Amino acid sequence: MRHVLTLQTEPSAEHQLVLITGPSGAGRSTAIHALEDLGFEVIDNLPLSLVPRLIDGPSLGRPIALGLDVRNRDFNTTALIELIDTLTRDPRVGLELIYLDCDSSELIRRYSQTRRRHPLAPLETPTEGIAREIDLLAPVRVRADHLIDTTEMSPHDLKAEIGKWFDQTKSTHMAVSVQSFSYKRGLPRGLDMVFDCRFLANPYWQADLRDKDGRDPAVTAHIEADPRFVDFFLRLQGLVLMLLPAHLAEGKAHLSIGFGCTAGQHRSVAVAEKLGKVLAEAGWPVSKRHRELERKAAHMPALGSR
């Protein structure tokens, strides 16, 4: 599950407080910076014993975000849960807890890239520290108001997820994200609609197009020349434009639409780009993500793919 929302802060509370925790490497620093960009007063790794003093002082007039993890000087699970209970009972406080989750295999990969020592295993491999930390935080995880799985998220994705829940300046219009992906790596998490583009003409088999991607006009032209494309896209466009107002009427704040092809480089990218443009022109707030292109740029040199 990508996120769980169970509680809302009381708007009349004197202090609006957001606690951010989770295993090391799951993205806490990124989340903290995202909240700071949204106007939160950010304090990272404040000792737990000092948190009540924030509430005893005067209101800052803006929400506070506290980053808490095992590096805190007096951190322990029991103390954190007791702090959460105390703050929840305090009528002056509107509290929300964000727990950033992540698969242990991905945490190991991130540590291997940075070559950092794990705070719970400074003399051992990160694997031991990650396992200890996940066990240690398990009782805190079940108390989360927002559970965000960052396993397949880039920093940009995590910032967008934080903004979705905590940006008070956003329009009440439903936000839409369109994503491209490779079926070889599976579906991205959190998609509401998925469309398979593998039936369209594949630019991979054109030598001059193979190393380009679906944002290139020549690649787009090749795909749109497929006799099936026009009918497909007209039906797709009509379906999505019909469904979006219905989802908005149901109170949905965000909708994710995914397009997949063999390697997420040509067809899915082109269709996602085209639909994103149509939706933006229709007045919907749209963000785009091309998972495989991002992965390719971040982790490996260019490779011929489909």
What is the SS3 string spanning 60-120? CCCCEEEECCCCCCCCCHHHHHHHHHHHHHCCCEEEEEEEEECCHHHHHHHHHHHCCCECC
Low-confidence ranges of the chain (pLDDT < 50): 1-11, 171, 300-306
Residue 8 located in a structural domain: no
Q: Which residue, of 129, 147, 166, is where some domain finishes? A: 166
**Domain presence at residue 305:** no
Of 166, 190, 214, which closes a domain? 166
Q: What's the domain range around 66?
A: 15-166
Strand-pairing partners, residue 259, are: 180, 195
Give the count of alpha carbons within 13 A of 49, CB side only: 3
Q: Are 118 and 254 found together in one domain?
A: no
Query: ∠70-28-132 over CA atoms, to 5°?
Result: 35
DSSP-derived letter for residue 3 is -
Pair 21, 51: CB distance under 8 Å: no
Residues 62 and 127 in one domain: yes
Based on the fold, state whether residues 235 and 266 are members of the same structural domain.
yes
What letters, b where the CB count within 10 A reaches 16 and e where it falls short, cover 137-158?
A: beebbebbbbbbbbebbbeebb
Query: In this structure, which long-range contacts are made by residues 207-214, counting pairs with CB atoms below 8 Å and at least 24 apart in sequence?
Result: 209/266, 210/304, 211/302, 211/304, 212/266, 213/265, 213/266, 213/269, 213/290, 213/293, 214/180, 214/265, 214/266, 214/267, 214/268, 214/269, 214/270, 214/271, 214/272, 214/273, 214/290
Task: Please tell me whether residues 137 and 94 are part of one structural domain.
Answer: yes
What are the tokens at 289? 């993500």
H/E element holding 42?
strand 41-44
Question: How many domains does the chain contain in total?
Answer: 2
What is the model's pLDDT at position 5? 36
Shared-domain flag, residues 193 and 248: yes
Longest Cα separation, the chain: 69
Cα distance from N-terminal residue to C-terminal residue, the chain: 29
What pLDDT is attached to residue 1? Answer: 36
- Parallel, antiparallel, or unpaired: how do β-strands 15-21 and 64-67 relate? parallel
Are 86 and 39 a contacting pair, CB within 8 Å? Answer: no
What pLDDT is stored for residue 53 in this prediction? 85
Residue 53 within a domain = yes
This prediction's pTM? 0.56
Q: Is residue 209 within 8 Å of residue 218, measured between CB atoms?
A: yes
Distance CA(25)–CA(210), nearest Å, equals 35
H helices present in 173-266, as ranges: 217-224, 229-249
Same domain assignment for residues 148 and 194: no
Mark whether 92 and 35 lie in a shared domain.
yes
Q: Assess whether 244 and 264 both reside in one domain.
A: yes
Same domain flag for 20 and 138: yes
